[in-house]
């Protein structure tokens, strides 16, 4: 009687040990799977970033033809806007000029580009006169409507013409793109950010 | 009392009445002032005398070049107990001058004409970068100049406001800021 009771206790203990072992194995497998998933998410290239950017070839405000390989070893910062946009574009460009000043020597590592979404009005000469008011570092890019449409597609830029009582305006994406020297998308900057906020974002990648 | 000099002096025959209240000299003086005020209100049209209930502060243009529109900014302050409705603006230095707003939705900036703006009673309304602004279509001005903008209100009043003309970086010490409209940006996927 006593023997069988102690055996049944042993059986019970063994069963408990087995259950514990199974629990440990299950928990271990689960955490390994979770860690794997986290690592995969961290290292897999985010689909959104892979799609932004691409080759382009446009007329620049400095009279040259500029393409995506014109600035070897340097980051580029692209802002899509137009000169007749009287609020957000000059506000953003003034902030950008301020940010470049705040960055000091680090600013040499980035070429700011203003790509017009209004090639009909923004000729290289108009862009040159306009951008020179903000900072001599800025280069303006324009082209045929087809060329502009192509770079807008490559950078996922929206620009929609809407008629007004006295002409037309363009609705356009409120974003600047920081691109790496090898042409990959690095980070977005929101249009209308303050100069210190822009400088802080740029410094993270340029210094 | 800026218009006091234009008011004729009270007739000397009023002064004896005044002397009768010598112990209350101050009140007497007030009576004279009241008489002056009454007199001036009879002489001058009321519009020329009343201070406009809406005043503009920190009004300025960002002037870039004559070929592109200049953006105008200001803070309107309404000191009356009635809301004041701004319906338009004009300036000889602008050609067309319109009330506008930059609206951001779905990561896209859009310029929207604004038919009217209500300045709340005893409150303020701000035209600021990245939000409400004045669109000065054909700017004829130069940096450093002050130009006059006339604001028109729904009650028929017109308020002339001096705007200081600044270059691209705006008033000194100001950080270009469009953040206050709470723009949200969606990344294109």
pLDDT, tens only, A59-104: 999 999 999 999 999 999 999 999 999 999 999 999 999 999 999 9
Residues 6+ apart with CB under 8 A from A144: A119
Please indicate whether, in this complex, the C-beta atoms of B178 and A156 are within 8 angstroms of each other. no
pLDDT at res. B27: 58
Q: Check: CATH 3.30.565.10 for B54-169?
A: no
What ipTM, to 2 d.p.? 0.73
* CB nearest B108 (choices: A90, A134, A171): A171
Query: Nearest Cα to A178, choosing from A203, A153, A196?
Result: A203
Q: pLDDT band for position A5 (50/70/90)?
A: low
Query: Could you report the per-residue pLDDT of B68-109, keeping only the tens digit for each?
Result: 999 999 999 999 999 999 999 999 999 999 999 999 888 889
Query: Could you report the per-residue pLDDT of A15-40, keeping only the tens digit for each?
Result: 878 888 877 777 777 777 777 666 66
Of the given ranges (A147-151, A178-182, B6-10, B99-103), which has the lowest mean pLDDT? B6-10
pLDDT above 90 covers a percentage of chain A that reads 68
Q: Write out the H or E segment, with its range, that includes residue A103.
A: helix A88-103
CA distance, residue A126 to nearest chain B CA (Å): 8
pLDDT at res. A8: 75
φ, ψ of residue A50 in degrees (nearest 5): -65, -25
**Mean pLDDT confidence for B59-65:** 98
**Mean pLDDT confidence for A145-174:** 90
Please indicate whether, in this complex, the C-beta atoms of A129 and B67 are within 8 angstroms of each other. yes
B178: chain A residues, CB-CB within 8 Å: 87-88, 91-92, 191-193
B96: chain A residues, CB-CB within 8 Å: 166
Please indicate whether, in this complex, the C-beta atoms of B113 and A190 are within 8 angstroms of each other. no
CA distance, residue A163 to nearest chain B CA (Å): 11
Q: Measured in whole angstroms, how far is the alpha carbon of residue A198 from the centre of its chain?
A: 13
A with B: how many residue pairs have Cβ under 8 Å apart?
133
B136 at A interface, C-beta within 8 A: yes
Where is pLDDT greater, at A86 or B47?
A86
CA distance, residue B113 to nearest chain A CA (Å): 8
Residues 6+ apart with CB under 8 A from B23: none
CA distance A167 to B100: 14
Q: Which residue of B has its CA nearest to A191?
A: B178
CA distance A193 to A85: 17
Instruction: Indicate whether A3 pLDDT > 70.
Output: no
φ, ψ of residue A47 in degrees (nearest 5): -60, -35
* B53 strand-pairing partners: none
Q: pLDDT band for position A11 (50/70/90)?
A: confident
The burial class, CB within 10 Å (0-12 / 13-18 / 19+), for B36 is: middle
CA distance, residue A32 to nearest chain B CA (Å): 30
pLDDT at res. B186: 34
The domain segmentation of chain B, as residue ranges, is: 4-48, 54-169
CATH class of A49-206: alpha beta
The contacts found for A3-12 with CB under 8 angstroms, 24 or more apart, are: none
Please indicate whether, in this complex, the C-beta atoms of A188 and B177 are within 8 angstroms of each other. no
pLDDT at res. A28: 75
Residues 6+ apart with CB under 8 A from B49: B3, B40, B41
Of the residues A46, A81, A84, A88, the best mutation for testing chain B's interface (the one with the most B CB atoms within 10 Å of its CB) is A88
* CB nearest B71 (choices: A87, A95, A175): A87
Please indicate whether, in this complex, the C-beta atoms of A98 and B169 are within 8 angstroms of each other. yes
Query: Could you report the per-residue pLDDT of A48-57, keeping only the tens digit for each?
Result: 444 899 999 9
Q: Left, alpha or beta for B95 (phi > 0: left; psi -120 to 50: alpha)?
A: left
**Mean pLDDT confidence for B17-23:** 48
CA angle A199, B69, A117 (to 5 degrees): 65
pTM: 0.72
Residues 6+ apart with CB under 8 A from B104: A174, A192, B110, B130, B181, B183, B184, B185
Residues 6+ apart with CB under 8 A from B99: B86, B88, B89, B113, B114, B115, B116, B117, B132, B134, B135
φ, ψ of residue B49 in degrees (nearest 5): -100, -40
């Amino acid at each position: 009687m006593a023997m069988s009771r102690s055996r049944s206790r042993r059986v019970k203990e063994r069963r408990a040990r087995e259950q514990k072992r199974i629990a440990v194995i299950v928990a271990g497998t689960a955490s390994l799977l979770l860690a794997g998933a986290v690592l995969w998410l961290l290292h897999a290239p985010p689909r959104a970033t892979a799609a932004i950017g691409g080759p382009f070839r446009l007329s620049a405000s400095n009279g040259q033809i500029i393409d995506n390989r014109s600035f070897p070893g340097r980051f580029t910062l692209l802002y899509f806007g137009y000169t007749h946009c009287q609020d957000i574009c000059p506000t953003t460009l003034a902030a950008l000029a301020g940010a470049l000043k705040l960055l000091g020597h680090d600013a040499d590592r980035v070429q700011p580009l203003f790509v017009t979404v209004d090639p009909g009005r923004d000729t290289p000469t108009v862009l040159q006169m306009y951008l020179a008011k903000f900072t001599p570092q800025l280069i303006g890019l324009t082209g045929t409507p087809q060329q502009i449409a192509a770079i807008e597609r490559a950078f996922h830029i929206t620009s929609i013409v809407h008629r007004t009582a006295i002409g037309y305006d363009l609705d356009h994406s409120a974003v600047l793109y920081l691109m790496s020297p090898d042409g990959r998308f690095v980070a977005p900057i929101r249009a209308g950010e303050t100069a210190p906020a822009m400088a802080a974002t740029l410094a993270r990648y340029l210094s | 009392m800026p218009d006091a000099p234009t008011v004729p002096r009270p007739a000397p025959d009023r002064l004896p009445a005044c002397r009768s209240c010598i112990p209350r000299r101050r009140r007497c003086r007030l009576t004279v002032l009241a008489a002056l005020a009454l007199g001036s209100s009879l002489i001058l049209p009321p519009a020329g005398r009343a201070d406009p209930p809406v005043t503009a502060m920190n009004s300025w243009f960002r002037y870039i070049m004559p070929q592109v529109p200049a953006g105008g900014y200001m803070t309107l302050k309404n000191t009356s107990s009635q809301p004041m409705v701004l319906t338009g603006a004009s300036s000889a230095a602008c050609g067309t001058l319109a009330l506008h707003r930059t609206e951001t939705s779905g990561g896209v900036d859009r310029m929207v004409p604004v038919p009217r703006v209500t300045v709340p009673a005893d409150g303020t309304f701000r035209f600021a970068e990245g939000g409400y602004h004045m669109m000065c279509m054909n700017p004829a001005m130069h940096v450093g100049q002050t130009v006059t903008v006339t604001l028109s209100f729904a009650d028929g009043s017109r308020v002339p406001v001096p705007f200081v003309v600044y270059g691209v970086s705006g008033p000194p010490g100001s950080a270009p800021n469009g953040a206050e409209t709470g723009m949200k940006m969606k990344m294109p996927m």
